[in-house]
Chains A and B, each alone.
Chain A
């Protein structure tokens, strides 16, 4: 499928600058990381609302919490492992426990930093943040959703984590409306439901068409908010199709797949297969090779779904 492609960083920067025009409390906290998160426009426009601390993510999380205490709305952005795993305890207590109005962006999530290897992969960020009660997790799926999610995040009162890759991102949906906590059905179906999140979703949409051509009627559910997850929609998908596949660029433990399993176990027990990064340390590699290795490409998804449908 040919989509128009956009620069995710540019979108992040544009929306932050536009929202900052409306909301003077918005500030940006950088740990040698904001310009590469697309904040150039914001920095040029609001140099006094941009705080470069240097490479110190623990302090980055704490300083953000302190700024929020004085009424600011800090956007703390850096590569995903450095805003989640590194300062996990500061995220938990300084931001989460105190429900500080801090917006954390984990860019280059998943194995988006494919050349840089395990130190720079963010494969457990959602799992970690899901362990912090009350923090919203957003993983927008395309350019329109990224715009909508950024706006929704900056207008929301409370801690939010937004994960995004920084490779060119397709525009799949026209609608930029984004409601935190709501998933939506992209395609109705009855044989199996695929629930997906983040930019890898584009491969799901392609897989669904291929599967349809082979007579497998796939329901596709978009879940751009991973916490709190849209339980009602998960239950509906489970009841409507009787089996669920989850797809995410994240470890199969702790992220979307786990969240879906938790809902099913409680309210709608159906078999679930999770497609994502297996529990291993991935090698550095080319992005598409890593996608294929994890069976996150359209063909890999088709293969798993067919196996699931044929061998329930």
Chain B
């Protein structure tokens, strides 16, 4: 588990580094999914960075596509492409645009960015794999703001009806969206009960506890239902000044003030763990 914690720290460091150097990016939601990505790419998912299209791989669809930087960091750390490439984010001709893109990036299997769409595509992948009798799993990460999209609930309805036990949705429930706090805008209510009522196997966890996330995925894998993991997270996690505060969705220019101290702090934590 210490290795996963280190991996999560590295994801946060790379993400903050690339976005602050570029001067723009979705910091808050990228930081909130770092621990889930660490568990997925550090332990749970099967993949081959040298052969991203390997048939035996598990799939991740980042339906909240604007948090691509965190996923790119995880992919680079695991060797899908050179770490230096992270600094090309949103530079003309880059393979790393803000939002994850199947057409461009090794290790990305679905283009996302328009909220609600990715999770339907992920379900199609799970269905396609299941009817072929393949053992691959499909994971999708959605945001709590994203869950206001009606299309998300179309997917919530289909997956149990199709018996997709190879499909695990992780809700990055950081309780914030662009305009403010989700509960002030349009609350999801008791999302675990809702998912359960739709027929999912539901686990409610601390989304920054790698052991708990890992355990939740294990339980979902054992279940004969599609899995729904409610990750209770903090938007901006890892940069204390930006945690759970308004305006942390995307930062630009001067809003990155203090990032050097935040990065130094994260690097110190990483060193202490090594």
Contacts and interface: CB of A to CB of B under 8 A. Distances in A.
Interface residues of A, number: 29
15 contacts: A51-B162, A56-B151, A58-B117, A58-B120, A59-B151, A63-B127, A65-B121, A67-B128, A69-B121, A70-B129, A90-B120, A93-B111, A97-B111, A98-B110, A99-B103
Sorting the interface of chain B by its residue count into under 10, 10 to 19, 20 to 34 or 35 or more gives 20 to 34
Given A59-B151, A89-B117, A66 B158 contact: no
Nearest to A70: B128
Contacts of A56: 151, 154, 157-158
Interface string B6-43: 00000000000000000000000000000000000000
A54 B128 contact: no
A228 interface: no
Interface in B49-67: none
A72 interface: yes
A94 interface: yes
Given A66-B123, A67-B127, A69-B109, A59 B155 contact: yes
B121 A54 contact: no
A59 B158 contact: yes
B122 interface: yes
A18 interface: no
A63 B123 contact: yes
Given A48-B131, A53-B158, A59-B151, A66 B125 contact: yes
Interface string B122-158: 1111111101101000000000000000110011011
Given A51-B162, A53-B158, A67-B125, A98 B120 contact: no
A185 to B, nearest CB: 38
B222 interface: no
Contacts of A48: 131
A70 B132 contact: yes
B102 interface: yes
Contacts of A51: 127, 162
Given A51-B162, A69-B110, A58 B128 contact: no
B94 interface: no
Contacts of B102: 69, 98
B121 to A, nearest CB: 4
Interface in A33-83: 48-49, 51, 53-54, 56, 58-59, 61-72, 74
- For the complex of A and B, list the 8 residue pairs with the smallest distance between their C-beta atoms, beginning with the closest: A66-B124, A62-B120, A70-B128, A63-B124, A59-B154, A56-B154, A66-B125, A66-B121
Interface string A87-102: 0011001100111000
Contact of A54 (B116, B118, B157): B157
Nearest to B63: A62
Given A51-B162, A56-B157, 19 more contacts: A49-B131, A53-B154, A53-B158, A54-B157, A54-B161, A58-B116, A58-B120, A58-B154, A62-B117, A62-B119, A62-B123, A62-B155, A63-B120, A65-B110, A65-B124, A66-B127, A90-B120, A90-B151, A93-B117
B114 interface: yes
Contacts of B109: 69
Interface in B96-122: 102-103, 109-111, 113-114, 116-122
A97 B111 CA distance: 8
A123 to B, nearest CB: 25
Nearest to A49: B131
Contacts of A97: 103, 111
Nearest to A56: B154
Contacts of B161: 54
B154 A64 contact: no
